[in-house]
Amino acid sequence: MDKLQVLLIMLLAAVAGLAVSIYLLALSVAPDESPLSVLAQVLTGGFTPSLPFIIPLSSLLFLSTVLASMVGVIYFLVVPEMKSYASGGGKEITSVVLRTLKPEERKVVEVIDGHGGVYLQKYITREAGLSRLKTHRVVATLSERGIVLVEKKGNTNEVSLVEWFREGMHVGNQARKEIAQ
Cβ atoms 26, 38 nearer than 8 A? yes
Task: Using CB atoms within 10 Å of the CB of residue 141, give its burial: 0 to 12 exposed, 13 to 18 middle, 19+ buried.
Answer: middle
Amino acid residing at 179: I
What is the β-pairing status of strands 118-120 and 156-161? antiparallel
What whole-number percentage of the chain has pLDDT above 90? 32
Q: How many CB atoms lie within 10 A of CB 71?
A: 10
How much is the average pLDDT of 42-66? 67
State the chain's mean pLDDT as an integer.
76
Q: How far is CA 103 from the centre of its chain?
A: 26
Q: Percent helix, strand and coil across the chain, each rounded to 5?
A: 70, 10, 20
Q: What is the pLDDT of residues 159-181, one digit of tens each?
A: 999 988 888 777 655 544 544 45
Res 179: pLDDT: 46
Of 34, 33, 28, the residue nearest 59 (C-alpha): 28
Q: What is the pLDDT of residues 76-117, one digit of tens each?
A: 665 555 434 344 445 677 777 888 889 999 999 999 999 999
Cβ atoms 22, 39 nearer than 8 A? yes
Task: Write down all domains in the chain, each with its CATH number in brackets.
Answer: 3-78 (no CATH), 85-180 (1.10.10.10)
